[in-house]
Structures are given as C-alpha cells and as structure tokens.
C-alpha cells in the first residue's frame, strides 16, 4: 500500500484512487499484470535500466504467462520507462510502446499527469486483454498498488 500524503504533490487523493481503479479495470479481462513505480530520481542515466532493476526486484517476472508490465516514473528527472515481460514484449510492437511513451510524455508536459497515465494503463490493458485474455487462471498475481521509491 501507499500513503496518499507521499504523492499529493504529484497526484491528488482522487487521482490516485482513479489510477488504481484503472489498473484494476485494465486487468479485469486478462491474465496480465500492470504495476506502477514512482520515485523522485532515476538512479541511472537510462530509465529502462532502472525499470528492469525494479521489475526484477518486485519479482514481476514471476507470473504464469510472463506478461507483466511495469510503468516506471522518475518525476523530478521528468523521465519514465515501460518495461514489459518477455511474452507481452513479443506480442506488441515498438510502435505501440512509442505511442504510449508519447502519450505519457505529452500528458506530463501539459500537466495532465493522471489522465495521461490512466490512458496508458487503459491501452496497455487492451493489449494484455487481446494477447492474454482471462481463461479462469489465477488472477491478480501481483499487488495492485502504486509503489514508491525515494
């Protein structure tokens, strides 16, 4: 879980709740998983390296279908990355991820942070549902929460 006070500067309590609901709705018809990790600064020059490190430390690879996605945001550095596990990466295109990147970058630039994040969650959820529809297998293998670093 997280404390709303930690992110009031980034998202309001209502926005945070809406973001979490978007994750839950995006996962509703898929075996796929989406997690969000937010921290102030990226420890590396390349946010993809940091996203990979977090993906591993959060054990997001430990899903039945290897179809988890991490949305990583370093808000003070104004940087982010998407990190998808092996199977979702193989099923989606580079164009798909570029579109999500553009959407998120534009939203943060124009101060529509929550709305752009929710739009990305929804699109990732659609891709997960298309490629990994729910067939009665274990649902919600990973917690639905916004994880915060330093």
Higher-scoring residue by pLDDT: 143, 78: 78
Predicted confidence at residue 64, as pLDDT, reads 87
pLDDT tens-place string over residues 5-52 = 444 568 888 999 999 999 999 999 999 999 999 998 997 779 999 999
Separation in Å, CA 11 to CA 21, 23, 73, 149? 14, 15, 13, 15
Reduced to 3 states (helix: H, G, I; strand: E, B; else coil), residue 66 is coil
pLDDT tens-place string over residues 78-127 = 899 999 999 999 999 999 999 999 999 999 898 899 999 999 999 999 99
Which range has the worst mean pLDDT, 64-73, 99-108, 140-149?
140-149
Spell out the CATH class of 4-148: alpha beta
Domain ranges of the chain: 4-148
């Amino acid at each position: 879980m997280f404390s709303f006070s930690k992110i009031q500067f980034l998202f309001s309590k209502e926005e945070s709740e809406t973001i979490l609901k978007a994750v839950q709705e995006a996962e509703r018809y898929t075996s796929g998983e989406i997690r969000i990790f937010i921290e102030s600064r990226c420890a590396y020059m390349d946010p993809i390296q940091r996203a990979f490190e977090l993906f591993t430390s959060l054990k997001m690879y430990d899903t039945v279908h290897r179809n988890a996605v991490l949305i990583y945001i370093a808000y003070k550095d104004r940087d982010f990355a998407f990190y998808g596990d092996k199977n979702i990466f193989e099923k989606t295109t580079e164009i798909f991820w570029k579109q999500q990147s553009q959407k998120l970058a534009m939203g943060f630039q124009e101060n529509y942070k929550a709305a752009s994040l929710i739009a990305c969650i929804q699109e990732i959820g659609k891709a997960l549902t298309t490629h990994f529809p729910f067939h009665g297998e274990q649902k919600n293998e990973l917690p639905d929460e916004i994880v915060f670093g330093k």
